[in-house]
Amino acid sequence: MYLLKSFGAASLLAATVANAAQVVLNWDITYTNANPDGLQERRVIGVNGQWPPPPVEATINDTLVINVHNSLDVPTAVHSHGMFQNNTAYMDGPSMVTQCPIPPGHDFTYEFNITQHGTYWIHSHYMGQYMDGFRTPLILHNTVETYQYDYDRTVTLVDWYHAESTEGLATFLNEYNPTGAEPIPDSGLIMDNANASLTFTPGKTYRLRLINMSGFVTYHYSIDNHTLDVIEVDGVEVQRQPMDMVSLTAAQRVSVLVTAKNDTSMNYYMHADMDTEMLDSLPDTLQYNISIPIFYDQTHTNFGAIQNIAFNNTSFDDTILQPVEVLAAVEPDVSINLEINFDVTTDGINRGMFNDLPYLPPKVPTLNTLFSEGQYPLSSEVYGPQTGVHILKHLDMVQLVLNNKDGNDHPFHLHGHVFQVVGRGDGYYDNNSSITLNTTNPMRRDTIRVPGEGYTIIRFRADNPGVWFFHCHIEWHLESGLAVTLVEAPDVAQQRMTLPSSMSEMCTAGGIPATGNAAGKKGLDLSGAPSGVTLIYDGFTARGKGAMAGCIIAALLGIATIVWFAHADPQKEARAIVESKHMQ
């Protein structure tokens, strides 16, 4: 170090480069079996025969290389959640957005520079596959961390299903589920295990990196009798903010500093409580509040009193957090209103959608279309009628107004960016709303809770040319269509990037066209592009239509019941008629 210093700035630069490592992971994606809740063994998706997949650690300026071999019998795709992927948009991972999925038996290498630090995660971005276990923390260290702490621990939270995600999707995206009731998890897990624990050394400070890797539920997190000092959300460092509890929607991360007591006479519990408001039914078999011990002293079982803090989904207001790196919000150049709702569509399925149009994946990945249909760099038609494409101009300040007409909260995630959250509240936001926005130094993050029948306003600079998915991170909702595609500065993307040839080879291997518009054709011939899954009746409100579809199906079920009863036992016919009337 002394030697280097004496050589001056040039050598320091050399030293920085020399420190930047290549972190190479060889991942064979495999099925294996696991029983993490101790209730039921099931097939899971792991890495190199292991489950859970290994956590990934790297340091800013490193290069991350993930050599993937797909040993599953279905395609896969790997997303590093929260990475900006500046100039490597094609390494982002979402299937049919920035790449063709990796076919069974095929290899693909993800390689990108780590330009960020903080808490992230890596997960499958192919259908609901990450709920089958293909998800793991991605911890990125800074060269010198802003906050001081003695120990760094990762605490993952997940919802756990005994049924495979394809089974859950088949039940959820089904005409017999007109209200869109989501599959209810069977368990909750802290650190992928029903019997995990942590150990605290007295007086030491712990950075706990909380990651909600769930497919569905929001968790409220607390530790009895300990304060949580929030220092990071979604990779953005914030001014130290003491809290009794923090909430994390699916895909959110929060780092907290916790200082251990100078007393080993008591051990304490940490708690992760599911936000039950989002569950359509509350089975007795599900343990909603999960707790694991933090041991100060493993030789005794004296536990500090369990604090019964009453949490709900508004107990933790993340919008009060202030990023360490101050950035004021500026007036947007463009504002896009995105209405969120759920409704039964022409295919008989209750779907989530933006602006009355559910997302349908195109026949060619949108990024491939961007590169191959270069003559239409600033028109959205080539991307297809139902990919929800919005073209963003390079360097515009973009505002998304998220108006949630659904009664439930939804966690919205933007790929390739963090955004500023300048407003959030109840009701519908429009130009006439007299709301004072927070423009001083608003919180930035990559996944935000949008309240039920409320709004959230986010802003970001369109400084990252590429194709970025924006969607609800509840896997059931994403798969039903609650997504749009932001095609950002396509003209600049074409100048700056070239798709690696391995990407077209992968499309060909999977029988997917590597070039062309959303229909796999040239120019503006979009015949055959996925479309036509739309709202059913005009003139009804969304809520009315959902209720109407529910009534029709209830009536059909009622009639079926009458027929069945009549055949099975004529004496029950009268009762069946009464029941069918009740259902209507």
Q: Which residues bind Cu ion (CB under 5 A)?
A: 81, 251, 410, 415, 469, 472, 474, 477
Whichever of 81 and 207 has its CB closer to Cu ion, that residue is 81
| 173, two tokens | 């995206």
What is the smallest separation between the CB atom of 474 and Cu ion, expressed in angstroms? 4
Q: Tell the smallest beta-carbon distance from residue 481 to Cu ion (Å).
A: 11
Q: How far apart, in whole angstroms, are the C-alpha atoms of residue 23 and residue 511? A: 32
CA distance 290 to 67: 36
Closest distance to Cu ion from the beta carbon of 432 (Å): 27
Which C-beta is closer to Cu ion: that of 56 or that of 474?
Answer: 474
Distance from C-alpha of 123 to C-alpha of 68, rounded to nearest angstrom: 13
**Least separation in angstroms between CB 352 and Cu ion:** 6
The residue among 95 and 438 lying less far from Cu ion, judged by its C-beta, is 95
Distance between CA atoms of residues 531 and 362, nearest Å: 9
Closer residue to Cu ion in complex, CB, 79/271: 79
Phi, psi of 171 (to 5 degrees): -75, -40
**Contact yes or no for 401/336 (Cβ under 8 A):** yes
User: What is the C-alpha to C-alpha distance for residues 101 and 93, in angstroms, rounded to an integer?
Assistant: 8
Q: Which is nearer to Cu ion, 373 or 406 (CB)?
A: 406
**Burial degree of 421 (CB within 10 A; 0-12, 13-18, 19+):** buried
Q: In 3D, which of 416, 581, 570 has the Cα closest to residue 493?
A: 416
The sign of the CA dihedral 37, 43, 46, 50 is: positive
Given the complex with Cu ion, which of 180 and 520 has the nearer CB atom? 180
Give counts: helices (H), strands (E), the chain: 9, 30
Q: Which is nearer to Cu ion, 250 or 321 (CB)?
A: 250
- Report the 10 Å Cβ neighbour count for 583: 14
CB 99 within 8 A of CB 367: yes
CB of 472 to Cu ion, least distance (A): 3
Distance CA 442, CA 332 (A): 14
